[in-house]
Structure 1
């Protein structure tokens, strides 16, 4: 066989070993398991190799190095006919080393790893049998290498290496990435898209903090404990809520809440029908809050910040809406959540509670986002550092706003001027 054939074969095999190595590392394990459950022969092989990934990667490493040794043996004979003008032995060796290194880096490292990393599942499906054969035929050398490496690790770190493979565990990232890759280019009906959205929301509930979706302090509807029952009845009628918070002196001293059904027995005062209210930190996650509410049979919680002051409240409906989206009930005054955003010519009239990222996404706006606020009212308070007045116009990062309605310390409606113009 000619040197050219040996060089080509060694480069091809080295490229396969390098590509498979990066493909196994970057592949979505959940996708692999789903495909093998569906009966794919190739992914049954990949699933088996994934469960023995340490041995597999060692086998690929050994195979790649054997190919590079073969390449190094024949590349001088292959290059010599192309370098007739280099007479000096050391100069010839230097030129051959540079050229052979460049060839290796391009054709056996960069290109295959880029290709396999960009489409790991397709490449693994195509070369599954090759990976399995490499694993089987190189197993004796792999076993010796792993045993020798574990022995060195035991000597250096004084720690016994486990001979068992780690159990295949799927993380939240694996599941999220699977649905992103599987369905981002798929045509799903409205129901299918909604089900995928629910699944993604369920995964995010483990990381979504309570502070991101509470009813803020400025929007809490409450009465002092000294208020009359008539005042309580009137507030229930005006607010259309089922629960009213009760405080002593100020909102930082919430005593509990009253349910509208408690008025059926014609109580004499508020304290006789007061229900206990539990405080939780705003750093809790949505899943933790849901488990707490379910375990203790609670429907409303008060939320405190890092300074111990009341930052807001959260209801079971707020938490469930994080999972299923907007839920309408008999107490919702707006049947359509989209009424929080209204187009008026080139202007947008929005509720102060509308989230900044929602506006930016829907209308391609460039309103500044910050960890210190998430809503339109929060943006305005953060920018002007005071309570605005009705009909006051302000400009935030090139966007002109007019305050349409302010009630006490709460911004109800804001008009974003000329944001829809071409």
Structure 2
């Protein structure tokens, strides 16, 4: 039982303890002090071994010819047989099984464990007191303090177990998904979640206020980026609500933006934006040019899932024609396609999207109807402009093709 407790996922144990019911109350009491619980189980285990050895000796004395074997021979056979039986029935097999199915057995044996805990916990308290005294007096140290915090590895293990248990066709529980997103939050860079440069709606600072009002009405956007001369010289943004102030120029209602590098982690960006009370950040490439746009909402989406806004109004196409043919928007991320459709498209830090994959390997922006083969995948460009790819037909080739 102690092996099940040690091997069980600590996060799983804590969640079981929070449930209602008698079993949860017992489990909470058993694991309140893990060292005491393990000590009690070990005391019970050792008592059982002593009792077993005594009765095994009595049985062998009656069955073995002591006159022929002698005391030493009888002791040797007794030791060998007892050791084999103990190793097989009390060590290797049960501990291996309890280690593999730790969470399940911990729940099954909660009641029996509690019964023996009540019987032996006084003895374990006595043994613990002696061991604490020896540690304190002889070795000038003390027992480790109980740790209730969970390591990131334990949390990741619990999440992976929940993902594996969920059926392929079932959506992952929202709380588990948020938990998983939170664990990965510190590893996400700005370029992975930003709005790309080609989709930024922006105007020159010299633009008239009436034209800006009309642009807000036509697009339905709440914010519009403002630049000077080019998109690489962004000076701020204007909010739709500020149009009610009847401004005379854009400069009078211009809101500041934060400038961040592509490689910056989004958790750091969120801290910067909240401290400076800003909601928009301009993502810069290695040459100082505008690479994309990032808002507080985009960062929050990484934790809580999609929040629909003006930039999410156009649905990205993902159509499965058959097991070997698909139609995709070029903006869909490669890792999403691999996970959702069980494909093995090549992934690289140099690109995130399907269009980026094609451009990276072809080293140019392909024209419409152009066919590119990468590994055992054939990409047909369905729609594209001189600046970007819009839609792609993907075919999985046989290795012989």
TM-score, length of structure 2 as denominator length:
0.73
Q: What corresponds to 1:104 in structure 2?
A: 86
**Is the contact made by 1:258 and 1:274 (CA closer than 8 Å) also made in structure 2?**
yes
Is residue 341 of structure 1 aligned with residue 333 of structure 2? no
Q: What corresponds to 1:128 in structure 2?
A: 114
**Is the contact made by 2:236 and 2:256 (CA closer than 8 Å) also made in structure 1?**
yes
Of 27, 30, 33, the match for 1:52:
33
Of 192, 197, 200, the match for 1:221:
200
Secondary structure (helix, strand or coil) at the match of 2:89 reads: helix
Shift of 1:49: 3.0
Is residue 276 of structure 1 aligned with residue 256 of structure 2? yes
Secondary structure (helix, strand or coil) at the match of 1:110 reads: helix
Secondary structure (helix, strand or coil) at the match of 1:64 reads: helix
Of 369, 391, 396, the match for 1:413:
391
Is residue 389 of structure 1 aligned with residue 367 of structure 2? yes
Is residue 402 of structure 1 aligned with residue 386 of structure 2? no
Shift of 1:398: 0.8
Secondary structure (helix, strand or coil) at the match of 2:365 reads: coil
Q: What corresponds to 2:16 in structure 1?
A: 32
Cα distance in structure 2, aligned partners of 1:78 and 1:408: 91
Shift of 1:276: 0.6
Cα distance in structure 2, aligned partners of 1:306 and 1:144: 64
Shift of 1:275: 1.8
Q: What corresponds to 1:14 in structure 2?
A: none
Cα distance in structure 2, aligned partners of 1:350 and 1:295: 39
Q: What corresponds to 1:9 in structure 2?
A: none
**What do the CA deviations read for 1:55-107 (whole angstroms, capped 9, x no partner)?**
33233334434444555556566567888799598787666655544433321
Cα distance in structure 2, aligned partners of 1:185 and 1:407: 41
Unpaired runs of 5+ in structure 2?
Answer: none
**Is the contact made by 1:405 and 1:412 (CA closer than 8 Å) also made in structure 2?**
yes
Cα distance in structure 1, aligned partners of 2:290 and 2:136: 55
Shift of 1:413: 1.6
Secondary structure (helix, strand or coil) at the match of 1:367 reads: coil
Q: What are the equivalent positions in structure 2 for 1:204-243 lying under 5 Å apart?
A: 204-205=181-182, 207-208=184-185, 209-211=188-190, 213-221=192-200, 223=202, 225=204, 228-229=207-208, 233=212, 241-243=221-223
TM-score, length of structure 1 as denominator length:
0.70
**Is the contact made by 2:266 and 2:299 (CA closer than 8 Å) also made in structure 1?**
no
Q: What corresponds to 1:157 in structure 2?
A: none
Quickly say closer, same or farther: Cα 1:397–1:79, change in 2 above 3 A.
Answer: farther
Unpaired runs of 5+ in structure 1?
Answer: 1-18, 155-159
**What do the CA deviations read for 1:242-276 (whole angstroms, capped 9, x no partner)?**
333344576555432233455664655x5454321
Q: What corresponds to 2:24 in structure 1?
A: 43
What number of residue pairs does the alignment pair up?
383
Q: CA RMSD in A?
A: 4.5
**Is the contact made by 2:221 and 2:310 (CA closer than 8 Å) also made in structure 1?**
no
